[in-house]
Amino acid sequence: MNAMQLDTPLAIEQSPLRLAQVGRPRPGPQQLMLSVQTCGVCRTDLHTVEGDLELPKLPLIPGHQIIGRIEQRGEGAGRFPIGSRVGVGWLNSTCGICRYCRSGQENLCPNAQFTGLHVDGGYAAYALVHQDFAFVIPDSISDEDAAPLLCAGIIGYRSLRLSNIQPGQNLGLYGFGASAHLAIQVARAWDCQVYVFTRSPEHQEHARRLGAVWAGQAGEQAPVPLDASVTFAPAGWLLPVAMRHLRPGGTLAVNAIHMSPIPQMPYETIYHERILRSVANYTRQDAEEFLALAASIPVHGDIVTFPLRDANLALQQVKTSGLNGAAVLQVA
């Protein structure tokens, strides 16, 4: 099968992914084999390809925002009929027995397997997933529109929840790429007033078109104190800045799997019961809630499509913030 394969992590400008012919994967017990239709391109893929994350295996096929149809089922994998359209995100499987899995915190499972990291991902014609971590895609959402929902959308939704934002409150978003441009649509559906901080004038205008009441640079002061905020850019220097924009008792949720160092900040920055918390992965409940919400709002992604062979180019665009919205690979 065709796949964009990583043999050695390198800067994306060196095009480390190569088009390869590899064997079709075989589903094990409880696993589904999907014929991949589309796969979203995520900043986490960039961290994988450039070696920012510890890679448990090489060669590796990245990609964890997969839309596909079930072509084969492993032993005991009877949850979905053959031919069903499902989505696959970052979580490929968890142990199901640790304290985190048993308490609804499966996103923190120490034995979790991640798509496009431990298990080959969706930059390929076929991919595998444990049947419990495949999700029904609402019929109203196309393959192209659905792909970014499987990570950018779900993790953005979890970030909003962990920020403690309430309907009608003032929300800050730092960075305005694939995840933020979906999260703002959820926040606006909750009647939140959204303030966007991003260095790109094009992204600022994009945010205004999607309902932001204000958009400016991260160093600028928002017109009002913020009740909650989410940072999407993997820049540690942003955190003290964003904390200073919060009202007392506000929460900053950090949506990043990898980040540059966080600078020292005076205690006054976090005083008055301001909360700083990270966001790690998501749960199946997050995925199911968000996909239903995305169909009902409805959430519309701004999508730029690339053929599978141009995965390096798509990731280069992600790195330089060259897209207004999300990149999606056309795989089928």
CATH 3.40.50.720 residue ranges in the chain? Answer: 154-279
Q: How far apart are CA 287 and CA 277, in angstroms?
A: 20
Q: How far apart are CA 94 and CA 281, in angstroms?
A: 12
> In CATH, what class is 2-150+282-330?
alpha beta
Average pLDDT rounded to a whole number, residues 131-143: 96
Provide the pLDDT for residue 325.
Answer: 87
Q: How far apart are CA 93 and CA 25, in angstroms?
A: 16
Q: How confident is the model at residue 323 (pLDDT cuts 50, 70, 90)?
A: confident
Torsion angle in degrees (nearest 10) through CA of 184, 212, 198, 179: 10
CATH 3.90.180.10 residue ranges in the chain? Answer: 2-150+282-330
Average pLDDT rounded to a whole number, residues 236-257: 95
Q: Which residues pair with 70 in a beta bridge?
A: 34
Q: Identify the helix (H) or strand (E) that includes residue 71.
A: strand 66-73
Q: How confident is the model at residue 321 (pLDDT cuts 50, 70, 90)?
A: confident
Tracing tokens 């409805």 back to the chain, one arrives at: 298
pTM of the shown model:
0.93
Query: Tens digit of pLDDT for each residue in 59-101?
Result: 999 999 999 999 999 999 999 999 999 999 999 999 999 999 9
Specify whether the CB–CB gap between 17 and 46 falls below 8 A.
Answer: no
Question: ω before 248 within 30° of 0 (cis)?
Answer: no
Q: How far apart are CA 6 and CA 314, in angstroms?
A: 15
Q: Give the C-alpha distances (Å, rounded to integers) separating 222 from 21, 72, 270.
A: 51, 52, 18
Query: Tens digit of pLDDT for each residue in 154-211?
Result: 999 999 999 999 999 999 999 999 999 999 999 999 999 999 999 999 999 999 999 9
Computed over every residue of the chain, the mean pLDDT equals 96
Q: How far apart are CA 93 and CA 76, in angstroms?
A: 15
Task: For residue 48, give both structure tokens.
Answer: 């994988």
> In CATH, what class is 154-279?
alpha beta
Q: Identify the helix (H) or strand (E) that includes residue 4.
A: strand 2-6
Provide the pLDDT for residue 257.
Answer: 85
Angle separating helix axes 152-162 and 180-189, nearest 10 degrees? 50
